[in-house]
Amino acid sequence: INGTKTDKKAVPENGTNGKDGAPGAKGADGASILFGEAAPTTQGKKGDFYLNTASYDIYSKASGSWVKIGNIKGASGVPGASTDLTDSNKLLRTDDEIEIQLVL
């Protein structure tokens, strides 16, 4: 191994940088994830995905049309245990968020 030897390892010497190569060909466009509150219509291109934010249905665009491939929202779960609200225990709601403050 050519280079400087230290007590821990050999450190190689760097050579000179070579010339830059020619620019490569333009790559293909990547896929996009689009979204809206209704089913997709004409937007997008082949390979894109679309999320309907009202129904949580997801679509894939193939052969010029959108095909529903599934839904990302699971079934409702079983309700959890409840507790009584008191002056110390609070239930706060802001827009779509709920915060529960419990004092044990």
pLDDT tens track for 24-37: 999 888 889 999 99
Closest CA to 51 of 66, 34, 64, 63: 34
Query: What is the value of pTM for the model shown?
Result: 0.51
**68-103 burial, b if ≥16 CB within 10 A, otherwise e?**
eeeeeeeeeeeeeeeeeeeeeeeeeeeeeeeeeeee
Q: Which residue has the higher pLDDT, 53 or 97?
A: 53
In angstroms, the first-to-last Cα distance of the chain is: 68
Across residues 29-49, what is the average pLDDT? 92
Please give the Cα distance from 69 to 61 (Å, whole number).
10
